[in-house]
A and B are shown apart, each in its own frame.
Chain A
C-alpha cells in the first residue's frame, strides 16, 4: 500500500513533519483567517457607522455660500456701510510644484513669487517661504484685495496657466463716508464679524445665515466620475439697518465740532449728540478724534509720529493700543462727566413741576450761600453775586446760589426721586443703594452714572450733596443721559428711550420691523415743560442777560443752557485746572424738535477765549443750528433786530445811474463810497449777488476800474467785529457772518475763513466767526 511505501521510504516526510504541517494548516488556514474575519466584523459591522461618517466627511466638499452682510443706511437711505465682493489670494504649493513649475518656460518658484509680490505689493521672500511649504494646499498671500489687484492676479494666472495660484471669493466692508459717525457705525474684522458700534451691536441681524453647497469629490477636489451627489442649503442674507442718524446733520455737527476743537485747542476730545426731542431718536452723534472706518487700525498722524519716536517695542505697542482704544471709544455714551450748569434745567423743571417756585419768584445772590453740613459756603461763579433776580434771570445768569436755594426748596427726597425718574440712575428696591443707570440706547459700551445712595443724599443734617447736585456738580452721568433728560423737559415731560435703529430691511429692501419711539415715563407736566422751554429761550435770545447768547442764530428761536465743570479728580491729581465745557441747545422753541448737546473736554486757556461753555460751546451749537435748522426745513423768521443785522445780498448796479445805484445800495442795507466822477456806474465791489454783512460799505465805481493789484488779508482774530468790518472795507475786502450779531461792541472775531497774510483780489468776501465776549464766565 501507499502508506507502507511512504513509511519505509526515507524520501517521504516523517510523522513529525506531517504533524507540524497540520499545525501550520490549522494556524494559517483557520486560526489566522478567523482573526481576520473577526477584525472585519468589528470594522465593517460594529464600527461601520463611525467609519462611514468619517469617510463621507472626508469625501464631501462643503462650499460655503456666503450670506451678504446687511447694509447700514442713514435715515435718508444713504449708505453708511456696505459689503462688496472681493477676493482673497492664496497659493497651493502642492499644485504649484506639480503643475505649474516649468523650468523650460522660465516658470520657476522665484518667477511666480516675484510677479505676485509685484501685484500684491508684498515681499517676494515671504511668498517664496510659503511656497516652500510644499506639502500644503493652502497658503494665504493677501486678504480682501481690491478688484484691480484681483484682476491683475487673474490675468497673471491665465497668462501662464497657473493652477496653484488661486482666488477665493469673499466680501469686504466699505464705508463710503469713511470717518463720518465712525464710533457709531463701528467696523468689522477680517472675518466680517462686527467689532464695534452698530456693526457689533447688531452683528447677528446684519450677518445673516451662510448657505452651503455639498458635493462628493475626489481627493484633489474635482468631481467623482460616477456619483451624482449634491445638496444645497440656501443662504439668507443679513438684514439691512436704517439708522435714525442723518448724515447731513452728522456732517454739520462734525464740521463745527472739529472747528471748535481746533479753535479752542481741546486736549481731550469732544462729543456731540443731536436728538429728536419728541422721539428720542439720535439724529447725530459725534466723538472726536475721528478715524477712517475703512482703515480702522490707523491712528492719527500725530499719534503715529509719537509712536514712531518711541524706541521700546512694548511701549510702542501700548501706545498704539491705547490710541486705538481711545479713537474707537464713543465718548458721547461711554464717558461720564459732571454736567455742571446744564443740569440746572433739570433742577428747574422739577422745582416748577413741584410748584415750589414760579418764574416770577425772586432770588437774591450775594456771591455765596451757606449750606447745612458744609464748612465753606457754596460760591457762585460770579464772586460779587448777581443781586436780586427773577427765576428766569437766575437761569439766564446760571446763578449757582439761586439754584442751591431752588434745590433746597425741592428737598432731597423729591430731588432724588426726580433724578431717578429722569433716568440718571436706578435705585434698588429698598432704596438703600443706587444701581447703575443707563438710558438703554441700542449701542454697545454705554457708560454708567455715579450717584449717591439714597440715605446719604437725603440726610437732613448734611445737605451739601443736594446743594452741589442742584447745579450739576459732584455726580457723574453720561452725555446721552443728560440730553435724554433735557429732551424730556422740552417735549411735554416724556422721558424717551434713545435709539438709533429706525427700521430693519430684508434683502429686497422691504421693512421687516420699524422701531416705535418708547416712552419710559412722564416725568414733568406739559405746562412745566412749556415754562422750561420759554425760560431756556431767554438764556439764548437775551443778548444782555443770557449766558447762552452766543448760540443765537438770526431768524430762529433757540433755547439752551451752558455748562462748565472743573474736573475735580484731575485737579486733585495733577494740580491743573481742567474743565469740561458744554452747551445744550434746543430748537425751535415754539415746538422743540431737535436738541444738540456739545461738550469739549479740556480746552486750552491759551486760545484767547476764557474757558467756559458760554464762550466755547454755545457758538459751536449756534453754528450747528444755523446749518441744521434750514436743512430740516425750518425757514428763518427774522425779527426787527435780526433784519438789521443779517447778512444780505449786494444788488446788481452796473449800468445804473449813480443816483439809482446809491438808492439801491442803501435800500439793500449797505453804506457806500463812490470812486470816480462819471454819472453811470461802470463797476462795483463786491460783485453783484455777493452775500456780505449788513452795514458793509459797497464801493461804486463811476468811469473807474477797481485796482487789479492783490491785497494782503490782515489778522482779524481778537478784533472787535465792527473794527474788523471797517478795516477790511477800507482795503476793499468784505466780511460775512452767520453768527449772532448785535450792535454791542463786545463782539469779537474768533476765526476767519481766509488766513491772515493770504494775497486775495479786491472784493473778496471773508467769512468770520464772531462771539460776544461781554460777561464772560465759567457758567
Chain B
C-alpha cells in the first residue's frame, strides 16, 4: 500500500510538468449523459419505487433516484481521480486488476447472492458489486499490456493468440459458471475488438467468429432458456403473456412515444407494465417520454462520445494509451448499441445495462472510472495542445502525412 501511494505521488509530480488539460468535449458529453441519465432514473423508477412490489423501497418514490444521485456524485469524483492518475499507473497495475477480477469472479461463485438462479452479485452491505464489470476493465488493461509487449509477434499463435485466449477462456469460463451470458458476450466481443485494434491477423477473427457462432448455435438449440428467448425475439406477439411479455411491453413503450413523446414523467408503461424499466429497459421509457426526437438526441450524444473516444485513442501518446482508450470506447459502444438493440427488439433479449442511465451503483462507478481513464489519456496528447495553440489545419495535415508515411 505504501509503495502504491509513493508511486502515485511520484507520477503526480512528473505529471505536473508534462501533462495538459483533459479533453473538454469528452468531459462535457459524459457529464451531460450522466445528468440526463440520473433524471431519467427518477422518471422511470418512481412508479415501481412507489408501488414497491419487491419490498425494497418502503414506498418511497425517490428511493432509486436518491441512491443513483449519490452514486453519480461519487462517480464524478472517481472520474476526476482517475483522470488525474497518469497512464503509466494504469499500465503498472493492469495485471493486478486482472488478478483482482479473477479473484472476485471466483469469490462470487462462493459468496455471491443468488438472483433468479444466477450468482452474479457480491453483497457489499451498502451496495452490491458485479465482478463482471471489473473483469471488463481487466480485459482492456491486461490485453493492452500484452499487445504492447508482444507487438512484434502479434502474427504468431504463441504470442499473438494464446495468452489472450487463455485470459478470455478463464474469465468467460467463470462467467458461464455464474451463469452470466450477456457479460460473456460483451467480454468476448471486447477481447476480439482489442485484438483487432492490436493488429492480430484477420484469419483469427474469421476462425474465432465461426467457432463462437457454432458454439452459440449449439447452446441455443440445447438450452431451453435460450431458445425461448430466440422465439420471443422472432415472434414477440405470439406469447405475449409469458416469454414475449417484456419485449412486447418495451415495443409498446418505444412505439407509443411517437415523434415528441408523452412528455418527461408521463410514461404509462413504467406503471408496472414494463419490467426492469429503470435498469435494462430505461431506454424504452426514454423513447416513450421523450419521443423520437429525444431518443435520437441521446443516441447522438452517445455517438459523439464514442467518436470522441476513438479520436482520443487515435491521438493518444503511446500504444498502451491507444489500446486502453480504444478498448474503453469500444466497451461503451458495445453496451449502448446492444442495450438499444434489445429495447427495440433488434437482437434477442439479454441483460445489458445502458451506461450512465441504468440504475446500479457499482456499474456507474466503474463506468465513470473508465471515463476518467480516457480523460487521463487525453491529457497526454501533445499534438492537440500544440495545434490548439497554433493552427488546426497543420495538425490535420501532419496526421495525414503521418498515416501516409506508415
Contacts and interface: CB of A to CB of B under 8 A. Distances in A.
B377 interface: no
Interface string B340-358: 1100101000000000000
A9 interface: yes
Contact of A32 (B197, B322, B333): B333
B16 interface: no
Interface in A172-217: 216-217
B326 interface: yes
A723 interface: no
Contacts of A37: 296, 299
Chain A at the B interface: SS class: helix
A40 B251 contact: no
A135 to B, nearest CB: 8
A356 interface: no
A39 B193 contact: no
Nearest to B268: A59
A39 B273 CA distance: 22
B202 to A, nearest CB: 10
Nearest to B248: A54
A1 B53 CA distance: 63
B257 A218 contact: no
A309 interface: no
A520 interface: no
Contacts of A217: 271
Nearest to B401: A3
Interface stretch (A220-228, A338-346, A711-719, A754-762): A220-228
A44 B295 contact: yes
B406 A15 contact: yes
Q: Pick from B53, B300, B403 the residue with the most CB of A within 10 Å.
A: B403
A48 B398 contact: no
A28 B336 CA distance: 10
A45 B259 CA distance: 6
B271 A219 contact: yes
B89 interface: no
B272 A36 contact: no
A428 interface: no
A20 interface: yes
A231 interface: no
Nearest to B295: A40
B326 A24 contact: yes
A186 B266 CA distance: 53
Contact of B197 (A15, A24, A98, A222): A24
B372 interface: no
Contacts of B148: 11
How extensive is the interface on chain A, given as a class?
Answer: 35 or more
Interface in A1-36: 1-3, 6-7, 9-22, 24-25, 28-30, 32-33, 35-36
A21 B287 contact: no
Contact of A44 (B272, B291, B299, B303): B291
A51 interface: yes
B254 A43 contact: yes
Interface in A551-578: none
A28 B193 CA distance: 11
Nearest to A52: B256
Nearest to B61: A225
Contacts of A39: 341, 344, 346
A56 interface: yes
Q: Pick from B252, B255, B307 the residue with the most CB of A within 10 Å.
A: B255
A289 B237 CA distance: 54
Contacts of B340: 36
Contacts of A227: 266, 268
Nearest to A4: B402
Contacts of B254: 40, 43-44, 51
Given A10-B151, A21-B197, A30 B47 contact: no
Nearest to A10: B151
B109 to A, nearest CB: 30
Interface stretch (B92-100, B211-219, B308-316): B308-316
A143 to B, nearest CB: 24
Contact of A25 (B252, B310, B322, B323): B310
A670 to B, nearest CB: 86
Given A20-B197, A52-B256, A218-B51, A32 B337 contact: yes
A58 interface: yes
B196 A25 contact: no
B382 A33 contact: no
Interface in A222-242: 222, 224-227
A29 B406 contact: no
A33 B299 contact: yes
Nearest to B302: A33
A25 B53 CA distance: 42
Contact of B272 (A10, A12, A218): A218
A224 B319 CA distance: 55
Contact of A226 (B256, B266, B329, B401): B266
A763 B320 CA distance: 128
A262 interface: no
Contact of A219 (B272, B333, B401): B272
B268 A36 contact: no
A617 B299 CA distance: 93
A38 to B, nearest CB: 10
B344 A43 contact: yes
A530 to B, nearest CB: 76
B269 interface: yes
B41 to A, nearest CB: 17
A29 B256 contact: no
B399 A24 contact: no
A224 B398 contact: no
B20 interface: no
Contacts of B259: 44-45, 48
B390 to A, nearest CB: 12
Q: Pick from A30, A32, A35, A56 the residue with the most CB of B within 10 Å.
A: A32
A15 B398 CA distance: 14
A59 B272 CA distance: 10
Contacts of A25: 306-307, 310-311, 314
B405 interface: yes
Contacts of A59: 268-269, 271, 273
Contact of A11 (B47, B319, B326, B401): B319
B191 interface: no
A84 interface: no
Interface in A54-104: 54-56, 58-59, 98
A21 B306 contact: no
A29 B314 CA distance: 14
A36 B341 contact: yes
Given A51-B254, A218-B51, A35 B346 contact: yes
A41 interface: yes
Nearest to A135: B242
Q: Pick from A48, A98, A227 the residue with the most CB of B within 10 Å.
A: A48
Nearest to A42: B344
Contacts of B273: 58-59, 218-219
Given A36-B340, A56-B256, A59-B273, A21 B310 contact: yes
A45 B291 CA distance: 9
A43 B272 contact: no
Interface of A: 1-3, 6-7, 9-22, 24-25, 28-30, 32-33, 35-37, 39-41, 43-45, 47-48, 50-52, 54-56, 58-59, 98, 135, 216-220, 222, 224-227
| Top 8 A-B pairs, shortest CB-CB distance | A51-B255, A15-B406, A218-B271, A25-B310, A28-B333, A55-B252, A219-B272, A3-B402
30 contacts: A2-B398, A6-B402, A12-B319, A13-B322, A17-B198, A19-B403, A21-B197, A24-B193, A28-B330, A28-B334, A29-B310, A36-B299, A36-B337, A37-B299, A40-B344, A44-B255, A44-B295, A45-B258, A54-B252, A54-B255, A55-B253, A55-B255, A55-B256, A56-B256, A218-B47, A218-B271, A218-B272, A224-B47, A224-B271, A225-B271
Given A11-B318, A43-B255, 6 more contacts: A15-B406, A25-B314, A29-B307, A51-B256, A219-B273, A224-B271
